[in-house]
Amino acid sequence: MADSSPDLKIGVVGFGFLGQYLVGRILKDGPGLGLNLAFVWNRNSDKLKGLVPAEFVLSNLSSFADRKSDVIVEVCHPQIVKEYGCSFLSHSHFMVGSPSALSDSDLNQKLRRAALQYGKTLYVPSGALWGGQDIQRLNDSGALKVKVWNKRKCKNIPTSKYNIHHLETMKCDVCQK
């Protein structure tokens, strides 16, 4: 980054595989790129011990604003987006790493309004699932056909709780029903 650009402080919410990777890269390469870690939060803070310097560990997510992050990256669970997304946007730009949270149209609209109200950016990454946009286009056109493969007995497949159009059924390898 150019010397005239201020460094960006990044808060990471979640320390699973993706959170660990992001934190590791920010700590290792971030300063040379103008990126610095503001905080790391995980529902089980014991998981951070020995892996994240103590000064970056945020024990209580409700106190995220004290760390004055420029960008908060959520990589843990859609419920966090629901509970904290608008609050995050009131202080920082916000990247939603659990985009399934945005399938709730009310939440989606609340987050968009909060971003506009506070002059922040709501980032929604795409492309992580190769072919995901093609699958969406097939579904939208009605051409998507889904086969459910499951090793459990057929009676245990909870297909009724999913809204899958054009579901093709097949015999179960276990019970042949």
Per-domain boundaries in the chain: 8-123, 132-168
Nearest one of 18, 8, 65 to 42, comparing CA atoms: 18
8-123: CATH homologous superfamily?
A: NAD(P)-binding Rossmann-like Domain (3.40.50.720)
- What does the pLDDT read at residue 131? 59
Whole-prediction pTM value?
0.72
CB 111, CB 99: distance < 8 Å: no
pLDDT one-digit tens code per residue, 67-81: 999 999 999 999 999
- What does the pLDDT read at residue 156? 46
pLDDT one-digit tens code per residue, 128-157: 555 566 666 777 777 766 554 444 444 444
Residues of the chain whose pLDDT is less than 70? 1-5, 127-136, 144-177
- What does the pLDDT read at residue 102? 86
- What does the pLDDT read at residue 133? 67
